[in-house]
Amino acid sequence: MSQGIPLSWLQLKHEKMKLFAAVAGVMVSVVLMWMQLGLMKALFASAVVFHGSMNGELVIVHSQYEHLLHSKVFSSRLLYRLRGSPDVSDVFSIYLSPGEWKNPWNGEMRSIQCYGIETDNASLKLPGIERHLQQLRNTDVFLYDRMARPRFGDVVGAVERREPVELELNRRRMSLAGVVDLGASFGVDGNVLVSHANFLRLFSERKSGEIDVGVVKLVPGISVVSAQQQFQKVLGKEVQVLTVDQFKELELIYWRSATPIGIIFTAGTVVGFFIGFIVVYQILYTDVTNHLPQYATMKAMGFSDGYLYQLVLGQSVQLATMGFIPGSLIAAAMYAGLRKVTQLPLYMEPMRGVFLIFATILMCTFSGMLAVRKLRSADPADVF
């Protein structure tokens, strides 16, 4: 069947197929690296959303605190020692515990993170929370996390339709007072906020005054480091006094070292890199081998090995560019889809893009450097 087809046409089609395969390999590699690094960053960012919402400069937790989902309680009486300090503007106490949420539409039971906050002043810096503090003082009311995953039901839609929402939380009938923006994470699908009194009603096993987190708001102009050192001496070894950044870092240390998630995503990035490397190497090596007579002819005409190496390496950089652009566009579309479904902060960060373009060029260039070794054997006397 191929007797009537010009050889040049078949060669052209073959070259196009090789080019497509090489670009597709780079695209797959780029998408994998974008997704792995993006998901890992989203994990770390979502894990400390609550930590970053503290309405104060210092945070007090138990000395054996590990992470937010495994906190240890301490007595709120320790915070009273700080209220009389002239450096302190306000002190807040926060309860937290996972609760049992019953979907009011289908009856499914889900675990949801519950925070007990003070209602005199906002202990968390969340948009719109202050206008709901008065409502939270009522019995059996709560605030819902607008950024929770959809599995809890169409709560946000009901609020937009101005429909009343009543449901069971820890088998207690509760009414929705409003919504705030907090955010889900890898460990938490959603959050609810209640007053101290309502928290103790929901979790009857908890004793009043056994809190999980204390927040200290300093007077403007006070040195955070000096206040931290002073308060640590006052409170003793039962608790640790942290800055907000240290509080975040303590949480991130757990996710980085005590769980395999960071290792998995890093390994996935490395796998994506080597997928592109192997594909590009195979394509370039085959291309150099098939065109060895042409390269040998160029060497006979006086072209140096260095020139031929630059020729092949130039092809490598072109492949990196041709694969990176569509691969990044595909990754951006996947980011948007996953962000909508998971409510994770997945965004195409410029610095990550700069890192990945250099990684892609390095991947293709290294592949080309290995493939170009074949040119050393391009001797006109042997080829012809």
What's the chain's Rg over C-alpha atoms?
Answer: 30
pLDDT at residue 126 is higher than 70: yes
- Write out pLDDT tens, residues 22-55: 788 888 889 999 998 988 888 888 888 899 999 9
* pLDDT for res 376: 64
Residue range 65-74: mean pLDDT, rounded:
88
Smallest CA-to-CA distance from 346 within 277, 265, 276 is with: 265
Percentage helix, strand, coil, to 5, in the chain? 55, 20, 25
Looking up tokens 């009537």, which residue turns up? 4
Q: What is residue 193's predicted lDDT score, i.e. its pLDDT?
A: 96
Average pLDDT, the chain: 85
Question: For residue 260, what pLDDT band results from cuts at 50, 70 and 90?
Answer: confident
pLDDT at residue 86 in the model: 92
Of 193-202, 215-224, 252-261, minimum mean pLDDT range:
252-261
Residues 366 and 380: their CA atoms lie apart, in Å, by 27
Look at residue 9 and tell me whether its pLDDT is greater than 80: no
- Mean pLDDT of all residues in 345-354: 90
312-318: average pLDDT: 79
> What predicted TM-score, i.e. pTM, was given to this entire model?
0.78
Q: Cα(24)–Cα(35) distance, rounded to whole angstroms?
A: 16
Q: With a cut of 70, say whether residue 10 has pLDDT above it.
A: no
Separation of alpha carbons 119 and 323, rounded Å:
54
Burial bucket for residue 152 (CB in 10 Å: 0-12, 13-18, 19+): buried
Q: In 225-241, which positions are buried (b, 16+ CB within 10 angstroms) versus exposed (e)?
A: eebbebbbeebeeebbb
pLDDT of 108-125, one tens digit each? 999 999 999 999 888 999
State pLDDT tens for residues 319-334: 888 889 999 999 999 9
Question: What's the confidence (pLDDT) of residue 377?
Answer: 59
